[in-house]
Chains A and B, each alone.
Chain A
Amino acid sequence: MQTTLDKQTNHPRPEEYVAANVNIFETQEGYVLQAEMPGVGKDGLEITLEGTEITITGRRSPEPVVGEPLFRERNTADYRRVFELDPAIDTSKVSAKINQGVLTVTLPKSEKVKPRKIKVD
């Protein structure tokens, strides 16, 4: 586990993340996951498939600090979220893209489980 030193107490603590808001759709072909990660570019993305889980990590691109902050609402923590995978998903065909802070992950189902019509002779 990655740890950082807590500035106030000097105790190691688990790294903090914020959960990205997601929408998930299921189609006949597979699943589509959309995650909102404003401030994250292509280089800050890390998607790992391990066993039955998919982990999405988005690291914010460094933003140059301008002067003094007057008002701060935006969270500075990176994004992380873990989902359990439907066993029907073909993990070798997962693809992802990010556009203006919205990550779209396409998780196709393997051919075996896709509904198929059988022609009757």
Chain B
Amino acid sequence: MNIVRWNRPALSAWPSFGGLSTLRNEIDRLFDAPLTELARASQFLSGATPAVDVFEDKENFVVKAELPGMKKEDIDVSLHDGALSISGERTEEKVENGEMYRSERFFGRFQRSVALPASVDASKIKAQYKDGVLTVTLPKAEEAKPKQIDVQVN
């Protein structure tokens, strides 16, 4: 599966000759991404649906979500019908007697679900929150693990 989320163009220094290839990549990416991806990735919504990465190895699925500035207690991780759901609420960090100068951060409720391609052992799910990144490790259920079967050939 090759799904690429649209990201705002990266900040870079003044264009040199390399700038053109960046532009070309950006245009390629726009045409590659389905429209729903584009709509979802608009800045207004991106905070409410945190960006996630999903990895798979023989034993586990690993889901990583970007949730900067949360308290551990305010993050809910749950598994329902083979889908991992990450939700929570980010409360605004107000500065006392401060006047807002620039406001780009998202506050409020967010929710994100990831359908897992195979069944997992719900009792062994582990989650860790570090540097604003939530890492959920979901061990695969026995029946979903790849098995080596030795076939006797006579």
- How many A-B residue pairs have C-beta atoms within 8 angstroms? Tell me: 166
Minimal beta-carbon separation of B72 from chain A (angstroms): 9
Chain A residues contacting B19 (CB-CB under 8 Å) are 13-14
CA distance A67 to B100 in the complex (A): 43
Minimal beta-carbon separation of B119 from chain A (angstroms): 15
Minimal beta-carbon separation of B55 from chain A (angstroms): 5
CA distance A101 to B66 in the complex (A): 9
Chain A residues contacting B54 (CB-CB under 8 Å) are 69-72
In the complex, the answer to whether B1 meets A71 with C-beta atoms within 8 Å is yes
Considering only CB atoms and an 8 Å cut-off, how many residues of chain B contact the other chain? 55
Task: Name A residues whose Cβ lies closer than 8 Å to a Cβ of B.
Answer: 1, 6, 8-9, 11-19, 21-28, 31-32, 34, 36-41, 61, 63, 65-75, 77, 80-81, 99-102
- Report if A77-B21 is in contact (Cβ < 8 Å); known contacts: A25-B95, A101-B69: no
In the complex, the answer to whether A101 meets B133 with C-beta atoms within 8 Å is yes
In the complex, the answer to whether B56 meets A67 with C-beta atoms within 8 Å is yes
- Report if A21-B105 is in contact (Cβ < 8 Å); known contacts: A9-B21, A12-B18, A70-B55: yes
